[in-house]
Amino acid sequence: MSTVLEVNDLKGYYRHRFEPEVKAVDGVDFSMAEGEVLGVAGESGCGKSTLAKCLMKRFKKPLEYVDGEVILNGENLYDKEDKDIKENYLACEISYVPQSAMNALNPTLKVKRFIWHLMKSHYSELTNNEIMDRAMSRVEDLNLPERVLDNYACELSGGMKQRVIIMISTMLNPTLLIADEPTSALDVSTQKVLVKMFKKLIEEEIFKSLIFITHDLTTLRHACDRIAIMYAGRFVEIGTVEQIVFDPVHPYTEALISSILVPEPGIREKELINIPGTPPNLKDPPPGCRFAPRCNYALEKCTVEESEWVNVKGRPVKCDVVAKKKGDGSDE
Ligand SMILES: Nc1ncnc2c1ncn2[C@@H]1O[C@H](COP(=O)(O)OP(=O)(O)OP(=O)(O)O)[C@@H](O)[C@H]1O
Ligand SMILES: [Mg+2]
């Protein structure tokens, strides 16, 4: 399958005057294939939402670009002017369902007006009927009642609002959809409905690939093909759902899986274990591996230099110490 997205050594820091910079995204690399759903999981504050902004080249003060590349369909977004990104990439190539999606709708516009403005700003030649036809087909895809198009945001339930945001975010059939905690504010049955919607939309090629950000590994298990585990601004392991959930390799992934609160059949039948300590302050992260101060396997060298990516049990892991214990340790 063809590569849709390639991300190399991406870095974005928050910079406030007179304060140390916050290294929120600090060297992220991964790639994604067409049709793939990649989950991004990690504790609160590890940089997931900041990563989403960096992937879209959406830098608003105090967030600043520091380094790296985001190559979408062969084009590096960081070689492009901001105007080009705004007009030709955001919403049509990369679309975003923000973490606070529930509040993202303009309260003074009916849903159909919102859609009309979006479609007209990209395709001025479309007639009103064509826009409404596209909106109606998306309403059906998302199992929404037809009336939502005539509603204001305040007239929608939480679950409906979430689906309306997804409808709006996918109106222009983006290559990549980034959904930031799309299920966190929903009850369990609505979460399941939403995960099914995402699968259907990707099967129907409404969008080609999905990055599903959440701290909820149980949801990711049902939603994704692969899961990337993020810790303190960096990815530490990327594997299939089976690999990450049932056979984690990186000590942080192992600890995260062991600390899942809701035991699902087959997921975590072992004792619930708290991860000792707290994630580092990203204003002053420890040198070397950022998980080393909390890690049972850490050697002295881990506190000096971070491991390169190594291949362990068929997936990339940033820990050469466990590579020697658990796998072949060959380089990626
Ligand atoms: N405007 C800001 N100024 C300074 N630091 C910030 C700012 N916004 C976020 N941060 C810091 O950047 C880091 C990453 O934040 P981010 O929101 O990306 O985390 P997250 O993984 O999405 O967390 P959550 O799971 O709670 O949504 C955190 O340490 C956070 O405190
Ligand atoms: Mg977030």
Domain boundaries, given as residue ranges, for the chain: 3-105+156-331
Task: Give yes or no for residue 329 having a pLDDT over 50.
Answer: no
Banded model confidence at residue 332, pLDDT cuts 50, 70, 90: very low
Site residues for ligand 1, CB cut-off 6 Å:
14, 22, 24, 44-50, 62, 99, 215, 282
Nearest CA to ligand 1 atom 2: 14
Which residue among 25, 40, 50, 60 is best mutated to probe the pocket of ligand 1, counting the most ligand atoms within 8 A of its Cβ? Answer: 50
Residue labelled with tokens 């070397």: 288
Nearest CA to ligand 1 atom 3: 14
Q: How many A from CA of 175 to the centre of ligand 2?
A: 22
Q: How many A from CA of 144 to the centre of ligand 1?
A: 33
- Please, are residues 42 and 257 in contact by the beta-carbon 8 Å criterion? no
For residues 185 and 66, which has the higher predicted lDDT (pLDDT)?
66
Banded model confidence at residue 115, pLDDT cuts 50, 70, 90: very high
Per-residue model confidence (pLDDT) at position 270: 57
Report how far residue 123's alpha carbon sits from residue 24's, in angstroms, rounded to the nearest whole number.
36
Q: Which residues are within 8 A (CB) of 288 and not within 5 positions of it... i.e. 6 or more apart? A: 301, 302, 303, 304, 305, 306
Both structure tokens of 159? 């679950």
Three-state DSSP class for residue 225: coil
Q: How many A from CA of 47 to the centre of ligand 2?
A: 7
> What are the DSSP calls for 35-90, one per residue?
T-EEEEE--TTSSHHHHHHHHTT---TTEEEEEEEEEETTEEGGGS-HHHHHHHTB
Three-state DSSP class for residue 258: helix
Q: How many A from CA of 24 to the centre of ligand 1?
A: 7
Percentage of the chain lying above the pLDDT 90 cut: 77
- Please, are residues 163 and 145 in contact by the beta-carbon 8 Å criterion? no
Which uninterrupted H or E stretch holds 130? helix 128-141
Radius of gyration of the CA atoms of the chain, in A: 21
Report how far residue 123's alpha carbon sits from residue 112's, in angstroms, rounded to the nearest whole number.
16
Other Cβ atoms within 10 Å of 145 Cβ, number: 9
Options 3.40.50.620, 3.30.420.10, 3.40.50.300, 3.40.350.10; which CATH number does 3-105+156-331 get? 3.40.50.300
Q: How many A from CA of 187 to the centre of ligand 1?
A: 25
Nearest to 148, CA basis, from 162, 128, 127, 169 = 162
* Among the bound ligands, the one closest to the CA of 42: 1
DSSP structure class, residue 122: H
H helices of 142-172, in order, are: 158-169
User: Which phi-psi region, left, alpha or beta, contains residue 47 (left: φ > 0; alpha: ψ -120 to 50)?
Assistant: left
Which residue among 11, 13, 14 is best mutated to probe the pocket of ligand 1, counting the most ligand atoms within 8 A of its Cβ? Answer: 14
Task: Give yes or no for residue 147 having a pLDDT over 70.
Answer: yes
Nearest CA to ligand 1 atom 31: 45
211, β-bridge pairs: 38, 178
228 residue type, one letter: A
Which residue among 15, 26, 40, 49 is best mutated to probe the pocket of ligand 1, counting the most ligand atoms within 8 A of its Cβ? Answer: 49
Mean pLDDT of the chain: 91
Q: Residues 13-29: what's their mean pLDDT?
A: 97
* pLDDT tens-digit readout, 198-219: 999 999 999 999 999 998 888 8
Three-state DSSP class for residue 262: coil
pTM of the model: 0.94
